[in-house]
Amino acid sequence: MRRFYLFFVVTLAFYLIVFRTLFEVNAFSLLDTEPSYLYYRQYLFSIPTPFSYFYNFLNSIWWNSPEKIFTVLPFILGTVLFYVMSSYFNLIEWKKWILSFLFMLNPGTALILYVGDAPSILMSYAFGPLVFLLGYRLAKNINLKNFLILSLVFIVTNWIYFESFILDFIFLLPILFFASNKIKFLLASLASSALSFLSLVNYEVLVYEIVVPSLNITSAHYIPLYVKEIYYISFYLGIFSIYLFIKKYKIPSAIVSVSLILLLSWLVVFVKIPNIPLINAIFLIFQSFQQKFILFISGLVVISFAFLKSWKYIFFILFLMSLANMPCINLYTQEHVTAYAILTFNANNYAVCEEFFKLQKFIYEHPGFYYIGINKTFLLECNLYSIYKYENLIPNLLPVSFSIFGVNAKQLAYEGIKYYLVVSNETPNYSNFKLVFSCGKFHLYENECFKSIAFSANGEPLNVTVTPCKVIVIGNSTFAKVLVPYYGLWKGAKDCNGYLGIPMNNGYGEAINEAYYINQYLIIVDFIVLIIISGLLAKLCWSKLRSVIWLKRM
């Protein structure tokens, strides 16, 4: 136990030193990892999760702490859990240390860190060794206790990242190759995955119905950017596979076989299927964001090392892995991330200036649902990190494809733009626009022609109230176009060029957001599943404890 405590302290100290710059900045923005809003009014419905409540709780104690904590935590957790797993399989101490750190310090984890998915995908990946260990124990002894423990871990990972019910299932697939009772193990594993899905069923169903249909695309256009990396991974994975199959290592061969399956699954980017609810969403997990495959292939290879005795081959594969130069691909751009990029991470390069939050405060103090325009040409000239920063930190930002010079402000008003943001060291003047906020290089202009985000058929502005559960429009018209994004769960509205089209009767129209009410019912299922599994597990543990106490009294 002392060795474990020593390892934990060293791991904690090591990663706190590596990521020390996170705690030097007030807030940082790293693509998908964005700081929390300091000032925010919610008008549109957003899907809550149990984990989001915990996120908000941490923010109430220390603003922006969740983003920092859950960027570092996956590395600590994954390294420690790999040590626990390798201890179960009786590895010698120095091998435990090397492999435990390698599991979280490899090209795949570096890639995910720099695309900003440490708090989600990397956190899910960090539980991989524990899922593999619990799956191994379940395969050896399929009983209710082992099943419930595995299910509980699945639930926790799925609460953190909603695709974990599939991604962490990858770590159970190798066990299927050597499980004594393959059918029972497969059914138990699928049941655990299904329970984790049900534990977040409100989010799973709604995100697949609202978000995924808009992402029903193929990622084949990314292939030219990935060819080099696909060839490279195929090279060292092929060499490793041939060695394992020649030596007839049972468990490592099973693990690497799953890695080969993941590698081949890249081919699904060429497949296009109809938009079938849920099925299409699950398929999209494998069709998009190929960085996940680099991550999980790297993790599986490291886990396979734990079952090898000959270290000269391991070091050879490690050498090949360390040469990897992985692409960070987003929005048709390419940035390379090396295997050593984690050790040189500097949050100061991604710090968010205070002007963003002062702008948020101004918007918060001027309530109402409206859009903030920004010159699209300016936005496209920014680097990828700046684009994400603007789009995620400024609510309802709407790029406009023309310059404001010489453009009638009414044109922007019909697009729902109440304010126009100019990012410049100068403070220009515009006709029909009044400067209402200026801080540093941020200048916000109010559109004096703006009246509403709801319009009649002839373009006259109407009175509108926007809440998370409904939109109410009032005025002299039989039909209203409301500039609120449309999706299939709006009742009483139809698609009007991507916005709400609401029929009106006697000057009144109403659209109900059914997603809001569906969520209220489904979120109950989340907690019922957790309570049942936790209750059954607690009952089993109490029965065992009571038996031990009874035996001692004898």
For residue 131, pLDDT over 50 is answered with: yes
For the chain, the helix, strand and coil percentages under 3-state DSSP, each to the nearest 5: 60, 15, 25
What pLDDT is stored for residue 55 in this prediction?
Answer: 79
Q: What is the mean pLDDT of the chain?
A: 81
Segment 195-222 shows an average pLDDT of 71
Q: What three-state secondary structure class fits 1? A: coil
For residue 434, pLDDT over 50 is answered with: yes
For residue 105, pLDDT over 80 is answered with: yes
Decide if 219 contacts 283 (C-beta within 8 A): no
What pLDDT is stored for residue 270 in this prediction?
Answer: 64
Segment 401-423 shows an average pLDDT of 77
Structure token digits, residue 251: 């468990």
What pLDDT is stored for residue 331 in this prediction?
Answer: 38
Q: Which residue has the higher pLDDT, 252 or 235?
A: 252
* Domain limits, CATH 3.40.190, in the chain: 354-447
Q: What three-state secondary structure class fits 546? A: helix
What pLDDT is stored for residue 347 in this prediction?
Answer: 86
For residue 143, pLDDT over 70 is answered with: yes
Helices (H), 288-408: 291-305, 311-322, 354-364, 376-381, 384-393
Q: What is the pLDDT of residues 440-472, one digit of tens each?
A: 888 888 888 888 989 988 888 899 998 888 999
Segment 291-295 shows an average pLDDT of 78
What pLDDT is stored for residue 373 in this prediction?
Answer: 87
Alpha-carbon distance of 443 to 420, in angstroms, equals 8
Decide if 460 contacts 489 (C-beta within 8 A): no
Total-model pTM: 0.86
pLDDT band at 258 (very low <50, low <70, confident <90, very high): confident
Determine how many CB atoms are found less than 10 A away from the CB of residue 90.
Answer: 8
Q: What is the pLDDT of residues 478-495, one digit of tens each?
A: 898 999 888 888 888 898
What pLDDT is stored for residue 289 in this prediction?
Answer: 55
Segment 95-110 shows an average pLDDT of 87
Q: What is the pLDDT of residues 40-57, one digit of tens each?
A: 677 777 777 777 778 778
Q: Which residues are 500's β-sheet partners?
A: 482, 495
pLDDT band at 228 (very low <50, low <70, confident <90, very high): low
Q: Using the 8-state DSSP alphabet, how is residue 30 labeled?
A: B
For residue 515, pLDDT over 60 is answered with: yes
What pLDDT is stored for residue 279 in this prediction?
Answer: 65
Q: What is the pLDDT of residues 301-347, one digit of tens each?
A: 889 888 887 777 777 777 666 665 555 444 344 455 666 778 888 88
What residues contact 376, with CB distance under 8 A and at least 6 apart? Answer: 399, 400, 401
What pLDDT is stored for residue 329 in this prediction?
Answer: 41
Q: Which residue has the higher pLDDT, 345 or 427?
A: 345
Decide if 301 contacts 321 (C-beta within 8 A): yes
Q: Cα separations (Å) of 88 from 55, 82, 139, 303?
A: 33, 10, 15, 13
What pLDDT is stored for residue 286 in this prediction?
Answer: 63
Least confident segment among 9-18, 25-34, 192-201, 410-419: 25-34
282-298 burial, b for 16+ CB within 10 Å, e for fewer?
bbbebbbbbbbbbbbbb
Structure token digits, residue 432: 């029909």
Q: Which residue has the higher pLDDT, 437 or 210?
A: 437
- Interior angle at CA 272, CA 173 and CA 337, nearest 5: 60
- Interior angle at CA 140, CA 136 and CA 146, nearest 5: 70
What pLDDT is stored for residue 72 in this prediction?
Answer: 92
What pLDDT is stored for residue 17 in this prediction?
Answer: 93
Among 133, 161, 159, 186, which residue's Cα sits nearest to residue 295?
161
CATH classification code of 354-447: 3.40.190
Segment 240-264 shows an average pLDDT of 82
Q: Give the relative orientation of helices 107-114 and 65-88 as an angle to the nearest 10 degrees.
A: 160
